[in-house]
Structure 1
């Protein structure tokens, strides 16, 4: 069954993406919850209009994203982690924990998928975190992993 995703669903698909799913999953989960619509000819025609409208709204938010980037420029996000005696952290740092810390420390809410974590953040220390706020606005800031 072909469906057009209306919202981002982890491990399934992103918004406005046309994907093929099993019939039962589409009929029993995606469609009733409003996460997707059937990918028939009429809905495929509406897809371009939905994407265009979404892009227009996103470009209106460009100033808001630039303001967020200016507020975060030069800032350091401190995240408390549990670590061993050698400084190696237990578990891993996630986009969700970074999102929560951004909200607590700076009062800024950013979507989880716009946060790009450093690959090598496995020990206590300072790393560079990238926030992809908009295709035109990317902000780097320091991420400090400190032992609790």
Structure 2
């Protein structure tokens, strides 16, 4: 019997796959537990239209991410930190401060977990921070670290 999986099933397949399973397994286990439905012509058509809609949605998300990436790359954020003689800083700047500054200065809500910062910023100057906006879109944000007076 052919079944369209409604959820991921270990050793059988992923959600949305059409798989062939034994009749008893399908009737007694998969269908009653709502893990799958019988693969009729109508169910297959619905699955196809659902996949097309999901593909369209993913494409729109990718376009939005590219747009956001361009906006981030074109802009820069200024963060102030206390510094002593010779430009020696007191403390460091982490992704939390960069996220807060981006929110205040640019109006962009960037998730701090998507920023790649190998180590906290401990020096004055301009630093480029890598941000993974989308699995396929990576951009850089210029962070200008200046002395707080």
User: Shorter-chain-normalised TM-score: which range?
Assistant: 0.5 to 0.7
Runs in 1 of length 4+ with deviation above 3 angstroms? Answer: 43-46, 55-60
- Say which is worse superposed, 68-77 or 96-105, in terms of deviation: 68-77
Aligned length: 101
Instruction: State yes or no: 1:146 paired with 2:139.
Output: no
Q: What root-mean-square deviation, in Å, do the aligned CA atoms of Structure 1 and Structure 2 show?
A: 2.8
- Offset of residue 142 of structure 1: 1.5
Distance 2:77 2:70 in 1: 15
TM-score in terms of structure 1 length: 0.57
Structure 1 residues 85-124: aligned runs within 5 Å: 85-117=85-117, 119=119, 121-124=121-124
Instruction: For 1:16-55, list aligned pairs within 5 A.
Output: 45=9
Q: Verify the 8 A CA contact 2:116 2:131 in the aligned structure 1.
A: yes
Cα 1:80–1:118 change in 2 (3 A) is farther
How far did residue 70 of structure 1 move? 1.4
Aligned to 1:69: 69
CA distance in 1, matches of 2:99, 2:78: 12
Once the two structures are superposed, residues 71-109 of structure 1 have per-residue CA deviations (whole angstroms, 9 ceiling, x without a partner) of: 122322111111111212211111111111111111111
Deviation at 1:120, TM superposition (A): 7.0
Contact 2:95 2:117 in 1 (8 A): yes
| Partner Cα separation in structure 2 for residue 59 and residue 111 of structure 1 | 21
User: Is contact 1:87–1:123 with CA below 8 Å preserved after alignment?
Assistant: yes
Alpha-carbon distance in structure 1 between the residues aligned to 2:58 and 2:111: 13
Do the aligned residues in 2 keep the contact of 1:79 with 1:98 (CA within 8 Å)? yes
Residues 84 and 131 of structure 1: CA distance in aligned 2, closer, same or farther (over 3 Å): same
**8 Å Cα contact 2:76-2:142 kept in structure 1:** yes
**Between Structure 1 and Structure 2, whose CA radius of gyration is higher?**
2
What 5-or-longer segments of structure 1 have no aligned partner?
1-42, 50-54
